[in-house]
Structure 1
Amino acid sequence: MPYEKLNLTAPKPVLSWANHGLGSQETQMAKNVASLPFVFKHLALMPDVHLGKGALVGSVIATQEAIIPAAVGVDIGCGMNALKTPFVAEQLEGKLKKIRLDLEAAVPVGFAENKEIDKAVSNWQGWQQFKDLHDDVQHLAGKASKQLASLGGGNHFLEVCVDTENQVWLMLHSGSRHIGNSLAQSHMRTAKNLAKLTETRLPDADLAYFVAGTPEFAAYWRDLQWAQDYARANREIMMTRFKRIVEKHLAGGKLTKPLLSVNCHHNYAEQEVHFGESVYVTRKGAVRARCEDYGIIPGSMGAKSYIVKGKGNPESYCSCSHGAGRLMSRNKAKDSFTLDDLLAQTAGVECRKDAGVLDEIPAAYKPIEAVMANQADLVEVVATLKQVVCVKG
């Protein structure tokens, strides 16, 4: 059997594709979610599963008539975009540093935002619904405009990669920025306050939920879908900017047609049909992998990444992992490794190699090969990539 049915004595089964046993905190977190009365059929844990807030990162949670805001998380719509270019590796020779510097100048990272607003940003259709969003974010319209087409921080990145066929790919990881975080925090507060008012007993306060048919559920679902669309547009507009920079260096500015383009969320919720029933599926650090769905599973900045196609495995709710998954916390990584370690582990990659990115050192993540081996029944590999340029958030 490709997955393990965990013995957690919870009301609903927990199926795990991880190749490691869960720690006590992880076990409790899985048990907490599996004990909620509205969880459908079973909880699915992906190979890169690790501690999160309320629910494990790497969880796929199908629910009936309810949704848990903290299970979706604060970076609503976080995900990946990858583009296969017509360029080949040889064309990159001598140009990697220039590409990296241009990327760092063109795409704001961390808390930064764009000084000017692109036409593609001002033309985004989502602005028409902004006035309908939660009152708490109405003062953020200007900031949300300036942050559309910006990377963010943490493990968000822009990468130029080369696949095993010598083809050049562009890849990026980003989400819904400050506006998505603010919407999530507002609704999570509402859910917790509701739980207190109704004296709802919960195994963890972070598992406070909304019930379908209530105004609170409707408001969250509306804002969630908007933030997911914002995150997708954020990646698309950034990728257009990224593509132009690479075309400037490799094609003299001439526009090229991508050979393949993939844009997928891995922190989100959707209404889907599974086992013949309509349910709400929350993928907290997981990618949808229905038959023929393309997905992106990145490794750390010194490891391989994979473009995959889904196999539509029903037991995983047609899902797969969203990456390698952290092996240690950011603080532990900073305490455990030195700059010399970072230099050694990112050899051959044009990237920052300073203390500011030490917490993103490859050894802080699980080996991506092991993660991929554990989900052979969930996806097939379409392309194997190795980064040659990496810009971190």
Structure 2
Amino acid sequence: MNGKQITKLGFERKAIGLALAAASLREGAGLSREEILGELRGVQANPDAFLGGVYDALAAELIAVRGVQEARASSDLRPAPLPYPVWGADLIDPGAHTQMDVAMRLPISRAGALMPDAHVGYGLPIGGVLATENAVIPYGVGVDIGCSMMLSVLPLPSGALKTEEAKALLMRHTRFGAGVGFEKRDREDHAVLHEDTWDALPLLGHLHEKAINQIGTSGSGNHFAEFGTFTLAAADPELGLEAGDYLALLSHSGSRGFGAQVANHFTRLAQDLHPTLDKSAQKLAWLRLDTEEGQAYWLAMNLAGRYALANHDLIHTRLARALGETPLLRVSNSHNLAWKQQVDGKELIVHRKGATPAAAGQLGLIPGSMADPGFLVRGRGNPAALASASHGAGRQLGRKAAINALAKKDVQAYLERHGITLIGGGIDEAPQAYKRIEDVIARQTDLVDVLGQFMPKVVRMDTGNEDV
């Protein structure tokens, strides 16, 4: 036997040497060349059957090569993106379209949609909705897993809380910023911290203490807590509210450092599982839900989503208690999460990265900027949008672009004209960095119905970059 004969069988690289070594042993055992070639063809056809014998090393190599080939084939992008609908195309930058096109070329993608607040993100664009089959994409959910909104409408007239009182309450009962938590004596407990889920994965057990330290707080960037006026134009039996103006609290927060570490851990894991994935799609590496890794992420993601809502719960509970009031209405929704959802009669995984769930009759919140209105909406369950809507106004200037383009005096003048008192906040979060929320809402009248409007008055955020 020689290398040329082995190569003619189709063996490559390392397998040629292993085949020659095994063939030499078989020749020593008295087998003819034709008998050995027949055995080698058998190893090629079914390497699993030859593990443990004289062909063990060759069979193991062929199995490994087969795995790489299967991974490469399963990671190949479609030559062209699947079609997807777009709402408010005139408001969306080309980069977001490009990112969505890449997402719709993934072999696991089945449907998608782009919301009118869409702009460039990491992997899936912010404002992107993507339905996949038996797979979840960590960066399709985002780094701030479970990022969400909550509104509390209080049984007080809109002018019942003076500006200085509102400032004092927000300073006393909220905390903002990376790594920030309440002092231990002021920290409150929550049922989410006592779930058995924390013991299900070593990673979650490792992050449990971080979650305890940061419970009831908010991060940096566009997270906020604000008092303002909620206006309901007409009585709504489902809401249980009469028409009028109410004092209300609106917050935007997520899963803090706990969620970020979960996102980054599983994104690295997904990328390792898809080493041949096209460079343009590397941030969209996925985990199959029928694998141990996929199930682990699904468990951790949903815990992070519950933890994010627990942060809101404590923020609203603390402030309502300080006012001595019980909210007439509390509404919340997550907008960075993945859900199992029936799409055309089949269960798919619907990722909403900066998109509000808007099933028929479902309540949701779509905020503007620190000085512009937000809206309480009811979903219309539009199937083309995968029952989704925008999650806010959406950026028209990136953070660096806003800092470079906007003057502090102009931002301050805008806030003064709108009667906004700001605690913290940076130029990168200026109202001028965002699209006009009225334009965004106008582009999605077939996705949601507007029920009420919230107008901020006293806003607290992290100090941010280039403070206003």
Instruction: Using structure 1 for the length normalisation, give the TM-score.
Output: 0.89
1:131 equivalent in alignment to 2:191: no
Aligned to 1:242: 319
User: What are the residue-to-residue correspondences of 1:179-218 with 2, within 5 Å?
Assistant: 179-196=258-275, 199-201=276-278, 203-218=280-295
Identity %: 35
1:144 equivalent in alignment to 2:223: no
Residue identity in the other structure for 1:27: H
Quick check: 1:117–1:146 contact (8 Å CA) kept in 2?
no
CA displacement, residues 194-245 of structure 1 (integer Å, 9 cap, x when unaligned): 111xx34464211111112111111111111111111111111111012223
User: What SS does the aligned partner of 2:154 have?
Assistant: strand
Quick check: 2:133–2:348 contact (8 Å CA) kept in 1?
yes
Quick check: 2:204–2:300 contact (8 Å CA) kept in 1?
no
User: What SS does the aligned partner of 2:85 have?
Assistant: strand
Quick check: 1:126–1:230 contact (8 Å CA) kept in 2?
no
1:16 equivalent in alignment to 2:16: no
Quick check: 1:126–1:229 contact (8 Å CA) kept in 2?
no
Aligned to 2:15: none
Distance 1:290 1:123, change over 3 A: closer
Aligned to 2:96: 26
Aligned to 2:453: 384
Give the drift of 1:359: 1.1
User: What SS does the aligned partner of 1:261 have?
Assistant: strand
Distance 1:218 1:330, change over 3 A: same
Quick check: 2:187–2:215 contact (8 Å CA) kept in 1?
no
Q: 1:52 aligns with which of 95, 115, 121?
A: 121
Aligned to 2:421: 350
Aligned to 1:116: 184
Query: RCO (CA 8 Å, sep 6+): is it higher in 1 or 2?
Result: 1
Q: 2:163 aligns with which of 90, 96, 104?
A: 96
CA displacement, residues 282-301 of structure 1 (integer Å, 9 cap, x when unaligned): 00000111111110000001
Greater strand fraction, Structure 1 or Structure 2 = 1
1:317 equivalent in alignment to 2:386: yes
CA RMSD of aligned residues (A): 1.9
User: What SS does the aligned partner of 1:309 have?
Assistant: strand
Count of residue pairs brought into register by the alignment: 370
CA distance in 2, matches of 1:75, 1:102: 26
Structure 1, unmatched stretches of 5+, are 1-7, 248-252
Instruction: Using structure 2 for the length normalisation, give the TM-score.
Output: 0.76
Give the drift of 1:74: 0.6
Quick check: 1:117–1:145 contact (8 Å CA) kept in 2?
no
Residue identity in the other structure for 2:152: L
Structure of higher CA gyration radius: 2
CA distance in 1, matches of 2:360, 2:379: 5
User: What SS does the aligned partner of 2:90 have?
Assistant: coil
Distance 1:336 1:127, change over 3 A: same
Give the drift of 1:142: 2.0
User: What SS does the aligned partner of 1:52 have?
Assistant: coil
CA distance in 1, matches of 2:298, 2:192: 20
Give the drift of 1:105: 2.5
Quick check: 1:137–1:182 contact (8 Å CA) kept in 2?
no
Aligned to 2:109: 39
User: What SS does the aligned partner of 1:90 have?
Assistant: coil
Quick check: 2:211–2:258 contact (8 Å CA) kept in 1?
yes
Distance 1:19 1:345, change over 3 A: farther
CA distance in 1, matches of 2:440, 2:92: 15
Give the drift of 1:375: 0.5
101-110 or 145-154: bigger deviation: 101-110
